[in-house]
Amino acid sequence: MMLIWLLSVTLLVLGITAAVLGVRLRKRSKHLNYIHEKVLDILDQGTYERLLVFDSDAEMSRLLNDMNRLLEHAHLAKANYANQEKEMRNMLSNISHDLKTPLTVVLGYSETLLHSSSLTDAERRVMTEKIQDKAQEVLRLMHSFFDLAKLESGDRELELRRVNISELCRVKMLSFYELLTKLGVHVELDIPEQDVFGRANEEALDRVLDNLITNAMKYGADGKVLGISVLKREGECVTIQVWDRGKGIPEKEHTRVFERMYTLEDSRNRMYQGSGLGLTITKRLVERMGGRIDVHSVPYERTVFSFTLEAL
């Protein structure tokens, strides 16, 4: 009798267990079917949806959270790719424009030199000089383009060493001093008396300063003041700022100034003409030296490009 009772209880428990497992399996099958259909919809429609997370099933919830992270990563990669494609199209369009303009001038003057026999020697010399200037302009643009391509490919590592940032800033500003004086621009230096050293590549840092000062001269000379500041936080980092009090950069443009081939609307004017690659190259160089660069601008008050490097 006892044996029959134990057997009945065992069968009852097994039946209940099987029923519970059956419910769980059906529930999990339903969840897996939901995941399958939802992932297919997301792939087919290219939406930015996420999968619902089931709190009642810890393992399923963990799987869904991982899949949502994967979807987030895929969507970010897709957005970045689309943005890079857009940048590339804009870059190619701007390069075509910037190459076409000087080349048109070169072709115009060269045709005149070839077919006009009435030109004086002085006129021929002027035209030849203009052809030379425009050819140099094309060459500078191409050099900038290839420099950026090399930086973004990551083929060549920058050798970083201990660099006297204070001295490099003084020398660089001195090289521009005569030109700035002719433009009526007052120079302000805020550099500690004790030399400040940082981990950098001297050639790359020299080019960063050159690009930032040139940029400030192009777009900030109307403010009549241009300065360099060197700030050091003990044992942390060195911050270098190149600033001016010119027309500045609209706030909505702050996030775009480092884009490839980006220029302000009026930079297509003769006075402000540039390739649009200088600040992009500057950003890449700073990043390759382990730093970061930002811009903050209040028109006719202070426009500052600020970048940080590791202090030594």
CATH of the domain at 197: 3.30.565.10
- Among 132, 153, 174, the domain boundary falls at 153
Please indicate, yes or no, if residue 193 is contained in any of the structural domains: yes
| The total number of structural domains that make up the chain | 3
Residue 29 has pLDDT above 90, yes or no: no
pLDDT of residue 240: 95
Please indicate, yes or no, if residue 83 is contained in any of the structural domains: no
- pTM over 0.75, yes/no: no
Identify which of 13-27, 140-154, 186-200, 266-280 has the greatest average pLDDT: 186-200
- Residue 261's nearest CA partner among 114, 99, 82, 117 is 99
Please indicate, yes or no, if residue 86 is contained in any of the structural domains: no
Compute the average pLDDT of residues 268-282: 60
Is residue 93 helix, strand or coil? helix
Distance, in Å, from the CA atom of 308 to the CA atom of 268, rounded to the nearest integer, reads 30
Please indicate, yes or no, if residue 87 is contained in any of the structural domains: no
Q: Which domain holds residue 303?
A: 163-310
pLDDT of residue 42: 72
Query: Are residues 171 and 295 both part of a single domain?
Result: yes
Query: Are residues 37 and 10 both part of a single domain?
Result: yes
Please indicate, yes or no, if residue 259 is contained in any of the structural domains: yes
CB 303 within 8 A of CB 297: yes
Distance, in Å, from the CA atom of 164 to the CA atom of 31, rounded to the nearest integer, reads 62
Q: What is the pLDDT of residues 165-219, one digit of tens each?
A: 999 999 999 988 888 988 899 999 999 888 999 999 998 899 899 889 988 988 8
The bridge status of strand 186-190 relative to strand 225-232 is parallel
Take residue 305 and report the two structure tokens written for it: 């490009």
Please indicate, yes or no, if residue 84 is contained in any of the structural domains: no
- Among 52, 78, 104, the domain boundary falls at 78
